[in-house]
């Protein structure tokens, strides 16, 4: 058995043990196995972290953009060099497959490399003035001290896409990761330290949800970036708004895939399966609803269910595993209750739904890939509630418009997937589907670091993440009216 890693916090360039209650990270495939353990941070540590970030913010903001970027580029190289080891730790701690864990560490490196090169991009704008002898400049300045609160499901990639732009635009950061996945947070902080990030620019405090509350209520906070549940996001947004603190929040999703009658059914089945069951369905962009055209529904659903049954579900550290466990016993219980409720409300079970009984999986937090079909005007909770697991609910549609209407039948609007070979229908879907991200002929999950990421409706709040959109949150503009003064007057007199 691998020895558990000792968890530590990072403030002012120093690693230290907490003085709160014990925090333990376990392997969800084998819950008796401890991956990492330490003591929680407390409110006093939040105060120290904020004071450290305040002390460092002026110097970091005045550091040239290319120097800041060099730290991020070195961080990317460190992440790449450790992708195999840290990817295995991610698989053991969070439950992703080994390939996904290593891929996530490499995605974090890609994000740091993208923002590390930001010094080569435009840094402001020049506008013409209606007055002689004057130019109008729009410059950008960092917010200051930014709080970052991140979820369990992408324990290094989501922190990367918040922390990298925060740092490249000159902010300092106080970061609270999900307490279920603290080891990968510590690894990212170690990479930034090794890359030469000055003391105080990044501060890591690991602890319960109360740490996030203390962070958003701290008087020194200049902005907050959050990814997590809708309930927690709304609470933090309300607290931030009451103090006039800007917030960027990415919250829930109940993403639909639409398979129209003319779709490439083999491609659609593969992509819907990946969208629903990759990462054990534990991602905000996962496919959790499916709408299939009546004309192809029987054929398509039979093939999709066969693919789901064939998935190799097991220990995520085994390279042959295709789907691992969910993150915790609480998550497992909640998802199983959601499935049972759907069946009680009249859903038909196409595959999955039952607990594993074999010795290799019975003790772990495993959920079988589950597909539920809803019939008629069913109002089953599973169509609207985010279970955040490998559960796909299905409806049939008699027309393209009905399919679009069913996809929009949600409070959320993060992502959707549309499968069709008709460009006219694809263009119609672009107009009809009210989401922040639309994939045509690919799974609903997935986001590249150079383009905006975020949802419509109740899935998002504030500016979008990633790409140059991140600049809209992590900086504010200063419009400068610059006149030549006496020089302009002198030139006018000489003429």
Which residue numbers are catalytic? Answer: 250, 284
Per the CB < 8 A criterion, the answer to whether 291 and 403 are in contact is yes
Residue 344 CA to chain centroid, in angstroms? 32
Interstrand relation of 30-39 and 5-6 (parallel, antiparallel or unpaired) = parallel
- Lookup: tokens for 158: 């989501």
What distance, in Å, lies between the first and last C-alpha atoms of the chain?
85
* φ and ψ at residue 399, rounded to 5 degrees: -150, 165
3-state DSSP helix/strand/coil % of the chain, to nearest 5: 40, 25, 35
- Lookup: tokens for 326: 């969910």
Distance CA 405, CA 412 (A): 13
Q: Could you tell me which residues come within 8 angstroms of residue 234 by beta carbon, excluding any fewer than 6 positions away?
A: 251
Sign of CA dihedral 8, 10, 13, 16: negative
Per the CB < 8 A criterion, the answer to whether 65 and 33 are in contact is no
Per the CB < 8 A criterion, the answer to whether 451 and 114 are in contact is no
Residues in the chain: 495
- Lookup: tokens for 21: 């209650």
Q: Which helix (H) or strand (E) holds 482?
A: strand 475-483
Interstrand relation of 223-227 and 247-250 (parallel, antiparallel or unpaired) = parallel
Distance CA 78, CA 80 (A): 5
Angular region, 200: left φ>0, alpha ψ -120 to 50, beta rest: left
């Amino acid at each position: 058995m691998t020895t558990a890693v000792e968890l530590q916090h990072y403030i002012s360039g120093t690693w230290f043990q907490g003085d709160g209650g014990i925090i333990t990270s376990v392997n969800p495939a084998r819950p008796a196995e401890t991956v990492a353990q330490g003591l929680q941070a407390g409110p006093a540590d939040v105060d120290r972290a904020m004071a450290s970030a305040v002390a460092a913010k002026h110097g970091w903001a005045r550091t040239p953009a290319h120097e800041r970027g060099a730290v991020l580029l070195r961080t990317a190289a460190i992440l790449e060099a450790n992708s195999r080891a840290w990817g295995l730790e991610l698989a053991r701690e969070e439950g992703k497959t080994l390939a996904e864990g290593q891929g996530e560490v490499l995605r974090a490196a890609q994000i740091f490399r993208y923002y590390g090169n930001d010094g080569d991009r435009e840094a402001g704008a020049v506008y013409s003035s209606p007055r002689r002898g004057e130019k109008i400049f729009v410059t950008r300045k960092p917010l200051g001290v930014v709080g970052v609160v991140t979820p369990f499901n992408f324990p290094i990639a989501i922190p990367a896409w918040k922390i990298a732009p925060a740092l490249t635009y000159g902010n300092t950061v106080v970061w609270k990761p999900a307490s279920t996945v603290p080891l990968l947070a510590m690894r990212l902080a170690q990479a930034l330290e090794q890359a030469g990030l000055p003391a105080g620019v990044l501060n890591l405090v690991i602890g319960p949800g109360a740490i996030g509350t203390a962070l958003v209520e701290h008087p020194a906070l200049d902005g907050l970036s959050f990814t997590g549940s809708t309930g927690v996001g709304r609470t933090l947004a309300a607290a931030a708004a009451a103090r006039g603190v800007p917030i960027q929040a990415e919250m829930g999703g109940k993403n639909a895939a639409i398979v129209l009658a003319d779709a490439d059914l083999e491609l659609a089945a593969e992509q819907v399966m990946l969208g629903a069951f990759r990462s054990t369905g534990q991602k905000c962009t996962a496919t959790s609803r499916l709408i299939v055209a009546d004309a192809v529904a029987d054929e398509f659903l039979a093939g999709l269910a066969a693919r789901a049954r064939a998935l190799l579900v097991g220990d995520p550290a085994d390279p042959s595993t295709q789907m691992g466990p969910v993150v915790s016993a609480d998550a497992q219980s909640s998802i199983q209750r959601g499935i049972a409720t759907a069946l009680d409300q009249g859903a038909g079970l196409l595959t999955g739904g039952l607990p594993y009984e074999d010795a290799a999986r019975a003790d772990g937090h495993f959920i079988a890939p589950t597909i539920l079909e809803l019939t008629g005007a069913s109002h089953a909770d599973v169509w609207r509630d985010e279970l955040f697991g490998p559960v796909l609910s299905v409806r049939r549609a008699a027309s393209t418009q009905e399919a679009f209407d069913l996809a929009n039948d949600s409070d959320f609007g993060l992502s959707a997937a549309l499968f069709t070979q008709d460009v006219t229908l694809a263009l119609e879907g672009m107009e009809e589907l009210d989401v922040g991200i639309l994939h045509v002929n690919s799974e609903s999950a997935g986001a590249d670091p150079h383009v905006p990421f975020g949802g419509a409706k109740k899935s998002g709040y504030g500016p979008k993440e990633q790409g140059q959109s991140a600049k809209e949150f992590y900086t504010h503009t200063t419009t400068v009216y610059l006149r030549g003064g006496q020089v302009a007057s002198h030139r006018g007199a000489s003429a």
